[in-house]
Structure 1
Amino acid sequence: MSTLVRTTYPVPIEDLIPAARQLAADLGVVPSRNRIMKEFRIGAEKARVVLNALNEPTPAPAEPHLRSVPNPVEIEHSDSPDEMPPAPKGAEASPQVAAPVDLGTATQTTPIGDSPAVVPTTGRPVRSWPVLLLALPAFVAVWSGWVGLGTLTGFGVVHPLPGIADGFTINSAITLPIGVETYAAFALRVWLSGKVPAAARRFAKWSALSALVLGALGQVAYHLLEAAGVVRAPWQITTVVACLPVAVLGMGAALAHLIHARPNQNAEK
């Protein structure tokens, strides 16, 4: 993807806006301000002006107005202007094109005289702090479940630095909740952000759902084994759990690559 802008410095805004629109068409989404700054090597203020121009709705072109033209023969044989054939009803009326309305803000219609007026209204933003209250009990349950399942499948205390720090130990079971649940939250954020290429958003969607389902199955497996008094998980569960750190690493690296990939890198050669 090549961006066509004039090589003079500084680059005028009128040259940057068409190039930014072409970049948005190649990406499939409106690029962020940082992406515009990096792509065109401009400052934050000029990038903000370009981004505002990209976010402005484009008004729909007005339909061409067609008028009825009388037959030349009838004009030639008419004796006076009063005998001219009347124009069709409504021919002189021009179509009225409504002004574009920003769908990002709520609107309410307030009658003023005989014509309604659209008055934009803004509400309070939705607070996200309740998510922390939801996350605390979920964190305790998920963490204990994954660590318990890891203990049943062979994860345990290890010495990660033998010969360097022999007294330093760590329980390798903590890699399960950190890897699986962190990736699920990250992929979910990428999917719902709407600011990444289509390929990255598609991969984030399916991998996030898969990670959430896998996390739920891990919790179910641990509680079933614990309720049955099993001290060693079956080999099928052990095999799946042992592969989780490697799978999470691969999905995370793939998603990071797709987020920063150019559109032409995803095209088939």
Structure 2
Amino acid sequence: MAALLPRVRAWVADLGAVPSRNRIMAEFKVGAPKARAILAALTDENPTPPPPRALHAVPEPTSEPDPEVETEPAAEETEAQVTPAADPVPNPEPVRVWPVVLLALPAFVAIWGGWVGLGRLTGFGPIQLLPGIWDDLSFNSAITLPIGVEAYAAFALRVWLSGSTRSGRAREFAKWSAFASLGLGMAGQIAYHLMAAAAVTIAPWPITTLVSCLPVVVLGSGAALAHLLANTSDAEVTA
């Protein structure tokens, strides 16, 4: 302070007027307390302004914030400090598989037996796969009915209900074909059990005609659904 005050007096003499606190701070790079003390000393020494002298242009110092004055934090920072962090979303409980298996086993046995029995009543049975090449290789075509119809119904249901299916046309086709496949499965079970209860050994021709067409219908529906899944031109983003 004692060493700085003579320099300030000489600067004030050249300036011709008592400067403000901010100008003293900007000119001599001092803080607000020291600038106020220097300004008070200059005011006591010069109660009246000195006569004007030759002045030279002095650039107006840029206003700097007072280092002693604490600025308030921004509203966003205050809210960020006050607002508690959101609780993390708990992980969803995994789906247990054993209840589904327990439900599916008896249904699988009943459906398998009904379709195989209906196939026998409608002409499905053992066939030679490679006649003249391997005559002993035979296959009972009655098992193609439960494998084809019920497997397609499960596949179509998965395509319809899965969130990963992006094609709207594939989802729509899978929904209605799944309903149709399940309906055919129920009709087949009803037909077999009614004929078995009546001791029928050969199914009527309308039932035989319908059942014989099922493998072709399943093949066509499966191929159509696979093509719709591969076609992404009408894909829609699912949430």
TM-score range, shorter chain: 0.5 to 0.7
1:219 matched to 2:194? no
1:233 matched to 2:203? yes
Map 1:15-30; keep pairs closer than 5 Å.
Answer: none
Do the aligned residues in 2 keep the contact of 1:156 with 1:172 (CA within 8 Å)?
yes
Map 1:8-47; keep pairs closer than 5 Å.
Answer: none
Do the aligned residues in 2 keep the contact of 1:156 with 1:173 (CA within 8 Å)?
yes
Do the aligned residues in 2 keep the contact of 1:153 with 1:232 (CA within 8 Å)?
yes
1:161 matched to 2:136? no
In 2: Cα distance, 1:264 partner to 1:207 partner: 19
Letter in 1 for 2:212: A
Which deviations, in whole Å up to 9, do the C-alpha atoms of 1:195-229 show, x marking residues without a partner? 22000010000001110111011001100000011
The one of 151, 161, 165 equivalent to 1:182 is: 151
Do the aligned residues in 1 keep the contact of 2:120 with 2:142 (CA within 8 Å)?
yes
1:149 matched to 2:149? no
Identity value in percent: 64
1:245 matched to 2:215? yes
In 1: Cα distance, 2:86 partner to 2:193 partner: 57
The one of 179, 182, 188 equivalent to 1:209 is: 179
CA RMSD of aligned residues (A): 2.1
Normalising by structure 2, we get a TM-score of: 0.60
Cα distance change on mapping 1:132 and 1:261 into 2, 3 Å: same
Do the aligned residues in 1 keep the contact of 2:169 with 2:234 (CA within 8 Å)?
no
Letter in 2 for 1:209: F
Letter in 2 for 1:158: I
Find the residue that maps to 1:194 and give its secondary structure: coil
Q: 5+ unaligned residues in a row in structure 1: which ranges?
A: 1-93, 95-112
Cα distance change on mapping 1:264 and 1:133 into 2, 3 Å: closer
Letter in 1 for 2:164: K
In 2: Cα distance, 1:164 partner to 1:187 partner: 37
1:193 matched to 2:159? no
Letter in 2 for 1:205: K
Cα distance change on mapping 1:174 and 1:127 into 2, 3 Å: same
In 2: Cα distance, 1:153 partner to 1:195 partner: 39
The one of 140, 148, 159 equivalent to 2:109 is: 140
In 1: Cα distance, 2:212 partner to 2:140 partner: 14
In 2: Cα distance, 1:140 partner to 1:224 partner: 18
Letter in 1 for 2:232: R
Query: How many corresponding residue pairs?
Result: 153
- Give the corresponding residue for 1:256: 226
Letter in 1 for 2:214: L
In 2: Cα distance, 1:118 partner to 1:214 partner: 51
In 1: Cα distance, 2:231 partner to 2:214 partner: 26
Cα distance change on mapping 1:210 and 1:116 into 2, 3 Å: farther
Cα distance change on mapping 1:203 and 1:264 into 2, 3 Å: closer
Do the aligned residues in 2 keep the contact of 1:194 with 1:201 (CA within 8 Å)?
no
The structure number with the bigger radius of gyration is: 2
Find the residue that maps to 1:160 and give its secondary structure: strand
Cα distance change on mapping 1:165 and 1:136 into 2, 3 Å: same
Normalising by structure 1, we get a TM-score of: 0.54
Q: Where do 4+ consecutive residues of structure 1 move more than 6 Å?
A: none
